[in-house]
């Protein structure tokens, strides 16, 4: 069926929810990865209800038209790029909180709500949804589910997979499935909820989610920084923290290049050359005791440790970590990578990054969720397109992470950008098996085609 | 191919690992559910290595012979029953700990190791694997993974799904897949590790697992009991605990019938008629403060609270809970059920159990993991076979749990015993989708056929 006919069918079914404004179509070509589809999609459907999603899927299915589901478009792997011949299904308008149950520690939400908006609403009940991607102010819960998002608090409080009890999923043919449950435990049949978490829009459209909540952690938090003469020793310091048995709420590592860039941006005194830094937050009833114990451990590891005296000082210390992305923008265009390795391999992974910097003549400022071994190397370059040299360097990064027992992506997903490396990690047999499983959900291959699995 | 030929092929490939001792074959007909296959299986293969498992799978695949994977045979849902024409693949001899990494908080193990043996070995490193099914002294890690086991500590420390980073899986045709990763985070492709957890042997054979460990919780635990005049008020007391924001390590509820049976068995003074009891453990740095706060909360809920003065008294209080199964055996044969409901629905679920007891003239002593809403009603009857009347009562129990937003099985699995109710919970569309996914792993349907999905 020709493109105009598909749009005509969509308009007949969905009226003014169908958007063909060229500016909007152009925006849907890209996410925040810095890459974009070659041309504009057919139309955007701004779904307001589950039946809207089902109607869109039925038309797409009947006409063989691809659907690209989008939340806020903040992804970093090209998972929500939409191009010529594709329908964009925007879930952003489906942003209601349908239910909050403090007694059951769960909430039922629509996927378009922003993570931070949900958590502001939950705070009134003294509850929170733990996944806290850095994008939480601008990314949707549905997007967090689609990517299997992580964040800073994961080592202590888990990732999205740990915080979703069930999802409602519209299949490619428009049927609605209710996966998972409202109880804490449940093992009836296969765990399709976990399969949908992180599936990047290829299995169906998440139209609702039952989220597992936590009580907010009582008491004040404590924050400290530990400065090391080089990044390897900072990574070893992080390992010493893990080995101590103390579980910080947050433990972030900034290498010298990222720390220096942020200090420049914030007009703070420049750190000594090579200095890398851990920033750590403890929480809960033992927050102060743990912060004091960590101060001793890290000092013994050769760090200069500063325990924030009050919340104002702690906020300043966290502002340095949070200013990483704006600081990177001052350096040029960045490809934000996302490898994850076993915690013991962090020092070796930083060695590999230093080697790749040397071999390719690149600067790769790197921050790391050091509590869980998830590194975000930022490949900095000039211009709009990732140069081949940077992709070659990224390839070396991925191969190094795999050699160290790690993974291509800790929390951003595969999308378009990493699909060519997927079989390197999974192996050919598992790659094919995963693709066949996706085909059970979507036999004609209209759900976000070309993402995750290369065509 | 005839049965003797299959055994001949197995013997040629696996020699003395092939066991056709009639006593052993007879034992493999049953698990601990109290039910058994109508006849004996063909043979038991005592796998000692991954190649043994692959060789068995290749012969099974080539001859179209079903494989039933077994650990210790302690399941409660008939998931490992083996009958005529089937090969039993026993993983019990593959019980090595291949790797313990305190720095990465992970262990790599073979599936046949007993949960408690693993935890005794990990204790030397001050580590533990959190899943703690009541069967932990006699059940294998592989069986825990196959059922998606839970236990007493789940509300605070998670279930098996939360504690497995990766599994090695031999497919029906003998190919080996390595699923998951060694890093804390990882979202490369679909989460097949979670799909395998709880899949009850229908997707393949788990031949190895990378487990997520925890540091042992430092400090002493505190234990208290709260006695209520009836079970409904005890369930409401549990809800008050959850609402308080305090997360006990363990919170168990025993109804009057189960409490009275245990007191009889242990020759303790009989509790007053109708009295139900919560037994609660707190841990961590705030253990005492939390126990004292819970004492106030539960007293205000109408309970008589006893805070154990020392470990010896605490051990006695937990001995009462742990003696439930022996106490049930003094009453007759039991069908141990396993429904799970949202925590707020626990009082209503106990009302339903009381109604079913009245309607069917049955005694259904019930214990409940009250921290997570997982109830184990014990249907007591005479003789070896579950009477139809008990199955009708169990059907009412399942339907009530589903009406209350719950699930058929919180931690035991579907196996043979609950497959006829599976579609009631999943719906026909999801039932078919799940079955089709299983067929991607096992196209000819030789992996534990007839389990989970009715033929």
> Does A427 fall in a domain?
no
Chain centroid to Cα B259, Å, comes to 22
Rounded Cα–Cα distance for residues B258 and B276 (Å) = 9
The tens digit of pLDDT for each residue in A124-183 reads: 999 999 999 999 999 999 999 999 999 889 889 999 999 999 999 999 999 999 999 999
Q: Are residues B205 and B113 in the same domain?
A: yes
pLDDT of residue A372: 93
Q: Are residues A357 and A294 in the same domain?
A: yes
Confirm if B420 and B360 have CB atoms less than 8 A apart.
no
Q: Are residues A78 and A175 in the same domain?
A: no
Q: Which helix (H) or strand (E) holds A215?
A: strand A214-215
Q: Would you call A410 an interface residue with chain B, using a CB distance cutoff of 8 Å? A: yes
The tens digit of pLDDT for each residue in B98-149 reads: 999 999 999 999 999 999 999 999 999 999 999 999 999 999 999 999 999 9
HSE (side-chain half, CA atoms, 13 Å) at A12:
8
Q: Are residues B61 and B123 in the same domain?
A: no
Q: Are residues B310 and B412 in the same domain?
A: no
Q: Would you call A144 an interface residue with chain B, using a CB distance cutoff of 8 Å? A: no
pLDDT at B394 over 90: yes
pLDDT at B157 over 70: yes
Mean pLDDT of B372-377: 96
Confirm if B110 and B131 have CB atoms less than 8 A apart.
no
**Cα torsion through B235, B240, B245, B250, rounded to 10:** -30
Residues whose CB is less than 8 angstroms from the CB of residue A310 and which lie 6 or more positions away in sequence, other chains included: none
Residue B375 in tokens: 């109830």
Please name the member of B189, B198, B412 whose beta carbon is closest to the beta carbon of A452.
B189
Confidence of residue A1 (pLDDT cuts 50, 70, 90): low
Residue A444, sorted as left (phi over 0), alpha (psi -120 to 50) or beta, turns out to be alpha
Please state, in angstroms and as integers, the Cα–Cα distance from residue B48 to each residue in B52, B110, B178, following that order. 6, 10, 19
Q: Are residues A398 and A249 in the same domain?
A: yes
Considering only CB atoms, which chain B residues are within 8 Å of A154? 184-185
| Residue (of B259, B248, B313) closest to B281 by Cα position | B248
pLDDT at B151 over 90: no
* Minimum distance, in Å, between the CA of residue A190 and any CA atom of chain B: 6
> Does B176 fall in a domain?
yes
B433/A437 Cβ within 8 A: no
Q: Are residues A186 and A277 in the same domain?
A: no
> Does B298 fall in a domain?
yes
| Residue (of B177, B201, B204, B205) closest to B189 by Cα position | B177
pLDDT of residue B384: 81
> Does B230 fall in a domain?
yes
**CATH code of the domain containing A357:** 3.40.462.40
Q: Are residues B79 and B110 in the same domain?
A: no
* Minimum distance, in Å, between the CA of residue A407 and any CA atom of chain B: 6
The tens digit of pLDDT for each residue in B6-23 reads: 999 999 999 999 999 999
Q: Are residues A270 and A379 in the same domain?
A: yes
> Does B446 fall in a domain?
no
Rounded Cα–Cα distance for residues B88 and B65 (Å) = 10
| Residue (of A336, A352, A357) closest to A401 by Cα position | A352
B190/A190 Cβ within 8 A: no
Q: Are residues A244 and A304 in the same domain?
A: yes
Instruction: Count Cβ neighbours within 10 Å for each residue of A215-251 and write b for 16 or more, e otherwise.
Output: bebeeebbbbbbbbbbbbbbbbbbbbbbebbbbbbbb
Domain tally for chain A? 3
Packing angle of the helix pair A50-63, A3-14 (nearest 10 deg): 150
Count interface pairs A-B at CB distance under 8 A.
252
Please state, in angstroms and as integers, the Cα–Cα distance from residue B116 to each residue in A99, B110, B133, B136, following that order. 40, 14, 10, 5
Q: Which structural domain, as residue segments, surrounds residue B258? A: 218-328
pLDDT at B1 over 70: no
B433/A243 Cβ within 8 A: no
Work out the number of other CB atoms within 10 angstroms of the CB of residue A4.
9
| Residue (of A221, A383, A238) closest to A301 by Cα position | A238
A101/B184 Cβ within 8 A: no
A184/B343 Cβ within 8 A: yes
Percent of chain A with pLDDT over 70: 99
B177/A430 Cβ within 8 A: yes
Rounded Cα–Cα distance for residues B273 and B276 (Å) = 9
> Does A142 fall in a domain?
yes
Rounded Cα–Cα distance for residues B317 and B297 (Å) = 20
* B residues 162-191 lying closer than 8 A (beta carbon) to A: 162, 175, 177-179, 181-191
User: Among the three residues B215, B239, B257, which one is the final residue of a domain in this structure?
Assistant: B215
The three-class DSSP label of residue A138 is coil
Q: What is the ipTM of this complex?
A: 0.96
pLDDT of residue B193: 98
Residues whose CB is less than 8 angstroms from the CB of residue B238 and which lie 6 or more positions away in sequence, other chains included: B251, B253, B278, B343, B346, B368, B370, B371
Q: Are residues B205 and B108 in the same domain?
A: yes
Q: Would you call B299 an interface residue with chain A, using a CB distance cutoff of 8 Å? A: no
**CATH code of the domain containing A29:** 3.30.43.10
The tens digit of pLDDT for each residue in A14-30 reads: 999 999 999 999 999 99
> Does B454 fall in a domain?
no
Q: Would you call B251 an interface residue with chain A, using a CB distance cutoff of 8 Å? A: no
pLDDT at B34 over 90: no
Confirm if B97 and B107 have CB atoms less than 8 A apart.
yes
pLDDT of residue B167: 98
Rounded Cα–Cα distance for residues A165 and A36 (Å) = 33
Strands (E), A286-387: 304-307, 333-336, 366-369, 374-381
Q: Would you call B148 an interface residue with chain A, using a CB distance cutoff of 8 Å? A: yes
Q: Are residues B11 and B65 in the same domain?
A: yes
pLDDT of residue B383: 87
Rounded Cα–Cα distance for residues B185 and A155 (Å) = 9
**CATH code of the domain containing B377:** 3.30.70.2740
pLDDT of residue A226: 98
> Does B449 fall in a domain?
no
Which of A425-429, B4-8, B169-173, B232-236 bottoms out in mean pLDDT, i.e. has the lowest? B4-8
Considering only CB atoms, which chain B residues are within 8 Å of A147? 187
């Amino acid at each position: 069926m020709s493109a105009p006919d598909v749009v005509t069918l969509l308009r007949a079914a969905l009226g003014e929810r169908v958007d063909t404004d060229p500016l909007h179509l152009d925006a849907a070509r890209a996410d925040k990865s810095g890459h974009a589809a070659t041309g504009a999609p057919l139309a955007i459907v701004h779904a307001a209800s589950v039946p809207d999603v089902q109607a869109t899927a039925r038309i797409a299915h009947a006409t063989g038209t691809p659907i690209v589901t989008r939340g806020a478009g903040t992804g970093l792997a090209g998972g929500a790029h939409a191009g010529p011949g594709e329908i964009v299904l925007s879930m952003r308008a489906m942003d209601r909180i349908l239910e909050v149950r403090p007694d059951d520690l769960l909430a039922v939400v629509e996927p378009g709500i922003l993570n931070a908006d949900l958590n502001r609403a939950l705070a009134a009940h003294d509850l929170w949804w733990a996944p806290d991607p850095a994008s939480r102010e601008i990314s949707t819960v549905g997007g967090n589910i689609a990517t299997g998002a992580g964040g800073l608090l994961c080592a202590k409080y888990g990732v999205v997979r740990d915080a979703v009890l069930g999802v409602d999923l519209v299949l490619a043919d428009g049927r609605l499935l209710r996966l998972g449950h409202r109880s804490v435990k449940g093992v009836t049949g296969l765990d399709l909820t976990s399969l949908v978490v992180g599936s990047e829009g290829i299995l169906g459209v998440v139209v609702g989610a039952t989220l597992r909540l936590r009580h907010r952690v009582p008491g004040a938090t404590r924050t400290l920084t530990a400065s090391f003469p080089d990044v390897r020793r900072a990574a070893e310091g992080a390992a010493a923290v893990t080995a101590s048995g103390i579980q910080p709420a947050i433990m972030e590592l900034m290498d010298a290049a990222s720390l220096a860039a942020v200090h420049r941006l914030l007009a703070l005194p420049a750190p000594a050359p090579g200095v890398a830094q851990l920033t750590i937050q403890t929480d809960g009833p033992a927050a102060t005791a743990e912060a004091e114990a960590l101060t001793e451990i890290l000092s013994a590891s050769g760090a200069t440790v500063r325990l924030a005296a009050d919340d104002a000082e702690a906020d300043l210390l966290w502002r340095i970590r949070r200013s990483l992305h704006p600081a990177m923008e001052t350096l040029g265009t960045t490809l934000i990578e996302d490898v994850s390795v076993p915690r013991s391999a962090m020092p070796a992974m930083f060695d590999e990054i230093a080697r790749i910097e040397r071999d390719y003549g690149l600067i790769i400022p790197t921050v790391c969720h050091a509590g869980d071994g998830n590194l975000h190397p930022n490949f900095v370059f000039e211009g709009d397109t990732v140069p081949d040299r940077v992709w070659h360097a990224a390839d070396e990064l991925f191969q190094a992470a795999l050699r160290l027992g790690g993974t291509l992506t800790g929390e951003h997903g595969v999308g378009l950008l990493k699909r060519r490396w997927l079989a390197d990690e999974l192996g050919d047999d598992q790659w094919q098996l995963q693709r066949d499983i996706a085909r059970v959900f979507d036999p004609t291959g209209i759900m976000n085609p070309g993402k995750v699995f290369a065509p």
